[in-house]
Amino acid sequence: MSPSSSDHVHLMKGQPFYVKYREIIRRLMFLIGALVVFRLGAHIPLPGIDNVALAQFFKDNEGTFLGLFNMFSGGALERMSIFALGIMPYISASIIVQLMSTVVPSLEALKKEGEQGKRKINQYTRYGTLFLALVQGVGMCAGLISQGITLSTGVAFFVPAVTSLVAGTMFLMWLGEQITERGIGNGISMIIFAGIVAGLPNLILQAISSADSGGNLGLIGLTIFGVLSIAVLAAVVFIEKAQRRIPVSYAQKQQGRHVVTQKNHLPLKINMAGVIPAIFASSLLLFPASLGQWLGSTDPNAGFVRQTLQELALVLSPGKPLYLVLFGALIIFFCYFYTALQFSPKEVSENLKRSGAYVPGIRPGEQTARYLDHILSRLTFIGAIYITVICLMPMVLQSSFGISFHLGGTSLLIVVVVVMDFMSQLQAHLTSHQYDNQTLMKKTTAHPKG
């Protein structure tokens, strides 16, 4: 005879933790395993590389855009592994497809086709990733040869190196999709997060050593830096969670003798652009500085162009006044630009109108769109100033206290945002699991087996 309903419910409540949360544990283990594979792959070297010349090259080019790409690749670029391109080609392809979807009518129509349209857009993004990885791989290999970092030249180096780089990027793209589907959190974000966190121990040791060499001033600066870091972390968490909730009412419905008006809200985040503006601004600003450092020269006989490039590299080096001004201006610009791509007040107002919803005191349609655009502009301004302060603060502190701590504001934002997203998704899985258990218990109680 099968157990009664009370016995069955008691067994469910008395299950061990690893049985009760088997699905969540399985997702966590898959995530950890995928990140371990990523870290192992970041140490597989590219064939035909002179490691001594490579180390000297990165030492000479410290502070250029190579440091930014090296951060996103988790140190794979500095080791010149098969993951040296990292996940940046996929991110670039995703952004390009998003930009084109606002211009090309066929892509804009695909966005509105639901799951099928999303799969088609993802397919275009994969093709774009393959093309960009191929172009960047060829360019990287050509640069390595020109800098004398390779052991061989020509086809003997190009074919295996480019193939390895493209395969590494496509594997990371596939791994990120698998993490999103079978793990917890956004896969691409988790890979970038793992790459940044992997470099934290070395960064902390560098900060401590620089503080020790600086004497009391270095220790005081390190203490102030630590306190400010905690305060900045708290501020980032607060701002990222902050929302402006616009009240939304739906058309009145008759329920019996009463007329009911359903009420809801439209949440607008302060920082709707995320970390994309900081990444764009860093890449755009560091590229001319790096170009000037590579091609410029301090030799008086080198020519006007090469001397100008060298001066440009010095003026636009991180921490310089012009760099700080341009960096802040570019961040603010990209905040408005990317927010406009992500959120369309006109489209939202039309969707509200079609669903019979309205903002109290505002006419549906054009007036609602203007109202949403007005609020969004003010929120974006606050978000842009917030991202600018977070990204510029480490550079100002470095120049003020002389602490060689290379974890910039962009890295800090990525780490905090990814952790918050991971925690929210983990909480969602726990809530869903608890709801499923309660539903099963109710069904068991209502239909006991005898």
Using one digit for the tens of pLDDT, what is the confidence trace for 372-398? 999 999 999 999 999 888 888 777 766
- Mean pLDDT, residues 113-128: 86
Range of the domain at 137: 1-198
Residue 125 domain-assigned?
yes
Residue 11 domain-assigned?
yes
Helix axes 22-41, 155-182, angle to 10 degrees: 170
pLDDT band at 16 (very low <50, low <70, confident <90, very high): low
Residue 178 domain-assigned?
yes
What are the tokens at 348? 């939202």
Residues 6+ apart with CB under 8 A from 186: 176, 179, 180, 418, 421
pTM of the model: 0.76
- pLDDT at position 264 over 50: yes
Query: H/E element holding 260?
Result: strand 258-260
Torsion (CA) 123, 127, 128, 131 in degrees, nearest 10: 170
Return d(Cα 151, Cα 137) in angstroms, integer: 17
Residue 317 domain-assigned?
no
Residue 29 domain-assigned?
yes
pLDDT band at 171 (very low <50, low <70, confident <90, very high): very high
- pLDDT at position 262 over 80: no
- Mean pLDDT, residues 60-65: 64
Residue 192 domain-assigned?
yes
- pLDDT at position 29 over 80: yes
> What 3-state class would DSSP assign to 251?
coil
- pLDDT at position 276 over 90: no
Question: Which of 223-227, 256-260, 377-381, 422-426 has the weakest average pLDDT?
Answer: 256-260
Residue 77 domain-assigned?
yes
* CATH code, domain carrying 14: 1.10.3370.10
Look at residue 380 in the predicted model and tell me its pLDDT: 92
Residue 46 domain-assigned?
yes
Identify the residue with better confidence: 363 or 228: 363
pLDDT band at 450 (very low <50, low <70, confident <90, very high): very low
Q: Please say whether the beta carbons of 173 and 48 come within 8 A.
A: no
- pLDDT at position 403 over 70: no
* Counted domains in the chain: 1
